[in-house]
Structure 1
Amino acid sequence: MVTIPETFDGHLLINGGSSNVRFENEEEKMLKSLQTDIASGDIRIKHVKAEEIDMSAKSGNLTLNEIEVEKAALHTISGDIKIDRYSGPLNADLTSGDLYAQWDKMKNGVHINVTSGDVDLKVEEEELKLDISVVSGDIRNEVRLDNIEKSGKRSLIGQKGEGEVSVNIESISGDIHIEE
């Protein structure tokens, strides 16, 4: 266990080879940045408020719970991403892995790129603009859209409300499921 000193400047960088990382911010200190880069292992973070997070796992999973951010980038190669009780925008790139995400509050700028894997999103926003495409896989949308520009087996462009929150998902191989 590592204790963060009182003189901590708010920037936390965690690198590791073959290792697992578990970070819980029980005191809920606001971080300026949280960066992780793990070559082989899982990363779990909980109770984090940060201006920015940038997390990378190769041959490992990312698990985020109770996260509030202003900017986020998540990258996995051969690993899944699971996000629960999340508030903020998201940029996620997955190669050979699944993504599950449940938002408390979405902010504009959700971009998800998947090379091989499924995407399962639970959203509660009233104002969404969806732009989804798959090369090989299916799209299952359970969000009631007010306006649909394009709807087919491999693509969906539509809007709920004024469309203030943009959600862009691109997948080469995998299914995409979105629900309210």
Structure 2
Amino acid sequence: MKNTFSVLVAVMALATLFFILKDNTSLFTKESQSGDRVHLSDNIHHIDLSLDSSDTEVIPTDRDEVKVDIDGKGRLTLKEQGDTIDISVRHKWYEWFGFHRKSDVTVYIPRAYAHSMEIDMGSGSLVMKGESEAKRLKLDELAVEMGSGSLELRNLDTNVFEHEGSSGDMVVNTLSTQKGSVEISSGNVELKNYEGPLNGELSSGELTVSMPALKGDLNFDISSGGVKLDLPDEASFKLKGKASSGDISCSLPLEDQKVDNGDISGVSGSGKYRINVSVSSGNVDIY
């Protein structure tokens, strides 16, 4: 029994030593400094941000480099790896105790960069904006994964936009995409001035979407939660909604409208696009 206890103590001591060394030596990961930068070559097709308990702003610039400033606690890593520039902010194990754990991070990216970007947020906040609605930040693909916290995106054009959130809040203002998807386990997502097709999947939470023009098919699968969909009066679509429990409503005029035990169908305008809604429990309002 004593031998077993001694072995457990030894294993715990070695594990503790490992994490301390991992946080404080360059044997595992070289720690970058505030102000470090990486030249953006033609070979770079991915920028990946992994942020832990940080308040971050991503700013487009006219320079051909990626630069990161950090103020506060946290270990910054900025490195080029193959066709990817990796940016991460992590906190050392002992920094999780006490207050003022957050760091302020500013990431500068070239305005001309037009490939893919991935944002992985554990907590904290992030803001990324294009210069204006007329001069948007253009990306081939933008993928967002949120554990918690808040995210604000504005003035973006993408070919692919993907969001997956465990919790937290995301507000997107002025986004055009060829393929969009939002998956919410819990939390709130608001898409303002959104243009393009959209697939929405909600386990719980709220999704609010407003569109200046309907430019693609919309599909919503709701286990629980709510969806509010604000469409222009002249939108042309064919609606098909099925509700096991909950409610689907549409205040826009529909031809051949049918309502039966929570299910709803009908056509608006020419019926160019399809809106498919499946509700297990929750509410969907189309107006």
When structure 1 is superposed on structure 2, of 26-35 and 44-53 the one drifting more is 26-35
**Residues 54-89 of structure 1, C-alpha deviations (whole Å, 9 max, x = no match):** 111111122211111111111111112211111111
Q: Distance in 2 between matches of 1:72 and 1:5?
A: 24
Which one of the candidate residues 232, 239, 248 is aligned to 1:139? 248
Aligned to 1:129: 238
| 2:156 aligned partner | 48
Matched pairs, number: 178
Partner of 1:24: 129
Number of the residue aligned with 2:147: 39
8 Å CA contact retained: 1:59, 1:76: yes
Gaps of 5+ in 1: none
Find 1:8's aligned residue among 106, 113, 126. Answer: 113
Cα distance, 1:39 vs structure 2:
1.6
Could you report, residue by residue, the CA deviation over 1:121-174 in whole angstroms, capped at 9, with x for unpaired residues? Answer: 1111431111112222122221101222x3124111111122101111111111
Q: Does the Cα contact within 8 Å between 2:164 and 2:182 map onto a contact in 1? A: yes
Question: Which structure has more strand as a fraction of its residues?
Answer: 1
| 1:105 aligned counterpart, secondary structure | coil
Q: Which moved further from structure 2: 37-46 or 97-106? A: 37-46
Q: Report the Cα offset of residue 92 of structure 1.
A: 1.1
Instruction: Verify: 1:60 aligned to 2:168, yes or no.
Output: yes
Q: Which one of the candidate residues 205, 212, 215 is aligned to 1:104?
A: 212
- TM-score norm. by structure 1 comes to 0.91
The range that moved more, 89-98 or 132-141, is 132-141
Q: Is the 8 A contact 1:41 1:58 kept in 2?
A: no
Q: Aligned letter for 2:153?
A: I
Distance (Å, rounded) in 1 between the aligned partners of 2:155 and 2:111: 18
The root-mean-square deviation of aligned C-alpha atoms, in Å, is 1.6
Contact 1:19–1:38 (Cα < 8 Å) also in 2: no
Q: Which residue of 2 aligns with 1:82?
A: 190
Report the secondary structure of 2:172's partner residue. Answer: strand
In structure 1, which of residues 154, 158, 163 is the aligned counterpart of residue 266 of structure 2?
A: 158
What residue ranges of structure 2 are gaps of 5+ in the alignment?
A: 1-105
CA distance, structure 2, for counterparts of residue 111 and residue 6 of structure 1: 32
- Of the two structures, which has the highest relative contact order with CA contacts closer than 8 Å and spacing of 6 or more? 1
My pick for the range that moved more, 69-78 or 118-127, is 118-127
TM score, norm. by length of structure 2:
0.58
Tell me, in whole angstroms, the C-alpha distance in 2 between the residues paired with 1:41 and 1:62. Answer: 9
